[in-house]
């Protein structure tokens, strides 16, 4: 399953922000930024990040931008992803492959 592969990759590279829920696994990157993986979505890799201003053209097609007050997964909270919770702008990515995830991680 693509989501499980994505979580394994993230867990092997980055520190978890907290014990994952059934729905969200949060990770802290060496830069201090956080990403959160939606664990229950299996059609693609659904990932939350801080807004990425200069995302490459080949990845922009997979991004939805959320304003600070736009509702989102309730598990994006102060425990699992404080920098991605309601009140902060975020990008929501629907990535088709682990290769696309790795490409995105190379720019955050």
Write out the DSSP string of 87-102: TS-EEEEEESSHHHHH
Residue 24 has pLDDT above 90, yes or no: yes
Closest CA to 106 of 7, 9, 8: 9
pLDDT at 9: 98
Residue 34 has pLDDT above 90, yes or no: yes
For the chain, the residue count is 108
Residue 1 has pLDDT above 90, yes or no: no
- The percent of residues above 90 in pLDDT, for the chain, comes to 91
């Amino acid at each position: 399953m693509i989501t499980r592969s994505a979580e394994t990759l993230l867990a092997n590279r980055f520190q978890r922000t907290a014990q994952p829920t059934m729905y969200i696994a949060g990770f802290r990157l060496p830069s201090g930024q956080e990403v959160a993986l939606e664990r229950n979505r299996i059609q693609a890799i659904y990932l939350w990040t801080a807004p990425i201003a200069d995302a490459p053209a080949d990845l922009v097609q997979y991004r939805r931008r959320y304003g600070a007050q736009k509702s989102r997964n309730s598990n994006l909270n102060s425990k699992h992803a404080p920098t991605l919770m309601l009140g902060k702008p975020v990008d929501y990515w629907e990535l088709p492959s682990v290769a696309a995830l790795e490409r995105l991680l190379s720019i955050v």
